[in-house]
Amino acid sequence: MEEAEALSTKMGIMVRGGIFKCFGSSQHIKSKFGTGYEIEIKIRKPNYSELERLAIEYGFSSSKLEDRVDLAAAKINLVKHVDKLILEQIIEHGLGADLVMEAEADEGRIRLKNLMNYCFVHKYGLEVTTLFTGYFAQVDLIE
């Protein structure tokens, strides 16, 4: 739908080999056939001092943000500070896939700054998702 809206002010829905089911503006089609809501939320990126505070809070006080840390050991350290759902996504095809790729390129090590950025963004993303689940019967995270 987004692509069609970007290309034209009018659109149609065709079924069974070319029979128009509906034709009109995107709002008309959404009103007639749409269900639910789609919302795009962007979590701001933290500044450097926020990442430093987070690293200290999460037990990395002896490391600087530019230091490289072992990803597996860091995940074990984060268990007591970060929601399990966030840590479980640090896998090859999860939300933390970029951290896994970075670790594979450097013998299992990643920059602490990247890990803290991931934790910050996903912590607040999870809070927003949790908030919406309190208001709606079903919430689907698209990406």
3-state secondary structure labels for all residues of 36-93: CCCCCCCCCCCCHHHHHHHHHHCCCCCCCCCCEEEHHHHHHHHCCCCCHHHHHCCCCC
What average pLDDT values come out for the chain (143 residues) when binned by 10 residues?
79 79 82 79 90 93 90 93 92 93 95 95 89 86 71
Q: Which helix (H) or strand (E) holds 105?
A: helix 97-105
In the prediction, which pLDDT does 68 show?
94
Reference 82, options 52, 45, 50, 127; nearest CA is 127
Reference 66, options 121, 117, 114; nearest CA is 114
Angle at 52 between CA 126 and CA 55, to 5 degrees: 60
Reference 95, options 72, 118, 129; nearest CA is 118
Residues whose CB is less than 8 angstroms from the CB of residue 106 and which lie 6 or more positions away in sequence, other chains included: 68
SS3 for 21?
A: strand
Q: How many whole angstroms separate alpha carbon 93 and alpha carbon 109? A: 18
In the prediction, which pLDDT does 4 show?
76
In the prediction, which pLDDT does 10 show?
84
In the prediction, which pLDDT does 81 show?
92
